[in-house]
Amino acid sequence: MSSLLAHRAFRTDQKLTQVLAQQKFTFSAEVIPPRNGNDQGKVLTQIESLIQAGAQFLAVTKGAGGSLRGGSLPIAQVIKERFGIPCIAHFTCRDLNPSEVENNLMDHHYFGIRNILALRGDPPDNHTQWHAKEGGYNYAYQLIEQIRKLNSGIYLPRVGGPPIAEEREKTDFCIGAATYPEHPDSEERMRFFEIKVQAGAEFGITDMLFNADAYARFMEACQQRNIQVPVLPGTRILRSKPQALKLATKFKVSIPSSYLNQLPEKDSPDSFQRGLELFLGLTDRLKSLGAPGIHLYVISDTDGACSALKSLTNGR
């Protein structure tokens, strides 16, 4: 029994900071768990397709906008364990108090998950008033601070019951944070990210991004504030002007006219190739600006994401 206990039940994942340090420019993608009750086989097929197309690591979201989507942890686990590539597990604290955060993080720790994108999380759609759970966190940096403390072996104090062991096992999470290069208030946009980095964030991933100049300005401001963590730009292929305008409105981001005006007026079988060419041009520009990689938001466009990854990995 003692020899069994000396080994971990699951393989420990590679940290994203190590991946980024070893690769000049990475290709990755983000998948969404199926809605509760839907066939889990579809997302596993999607994952396999993305990896075969060239994804070097994947991220798994939590349900956005209060949607009913469980399964984020087991999907992250199967990416790491069955498919053998690193995975970033999104972790939201919107509906959790600190004790629940700690318990959930221990599940990730025992499974060998090491990369956590620490998020506050979105309120349910159409809810204008939002309040954290009683005793919970209002901001992502508070979650990041708790993860950092666990990495130092600092657990929540016990109220009653036996005391925690003196020799505490430290977690070893690599902590990521969301970044918003086009947040309307330029001071807030940098201060929010700076606070997250000071709290313990080791990498960032942008929200939906189509404007390379916005990324350049954001990274320049990071340098001015001595924020030196890598920031992955997240984007996707646009197939038509209507789709682009819809996404720009939803995510409150800009699409340069030079990009928008080259998109087809409507989606068609022929429009994808034009969208792919523009995506590859954006990727080249981001790479020239020093981006450590490109992170694809797949959503429901698995075929498009796979085509993009194949084009990137094959050197176009």
Please state, as a whole number, how many other Cβ atoms lie within 10 Å of the Cβ of residue 272: 19
Give me the amino acid identity at 98: P
pLDDT digits (tens, 9 = 90+) for 79-136: 999 999 999 999 999 889 999 999 999 999 999 999 999 999 876 666 666 677 788 9
> What is the rounded CA–CA span in Å between residue 23 and residue 15?
13
Q: Which of 26-35, 162-171, 222-231, 304-313 has the lowest mean pLDDT?
A: 162-171
Question: What integer pLDDT is reported at residue 3 of this predicted model?
Answer: 43
More confident residue, 71 or 124: 71
Helix (H, G, I), strand (E, B) or coil at 284: helix
Question: What integer pLDDT is reported at residue 5 of this predicted model?
Answer: 44
Q: What residues make up the domain containing 33? A: 2-313
CATH number at residue 127: 3.20.20.220
Number of domains the chain contains: 1
> What is the rounded CA–CA span in Å between residue 130 and residue 277?
41
> What is the rounded CA–CA span in Å between residue 86 and residue 93?
23
- Tokens 């498919």 correspond to what residue? 83
Question: What integer pLDDT is reported at residue 124 of this predicted model?
Answer: 64
Indicate whether 4 pLDDT > 70.
Answer: no
More confident residue, 119 or 36: 119
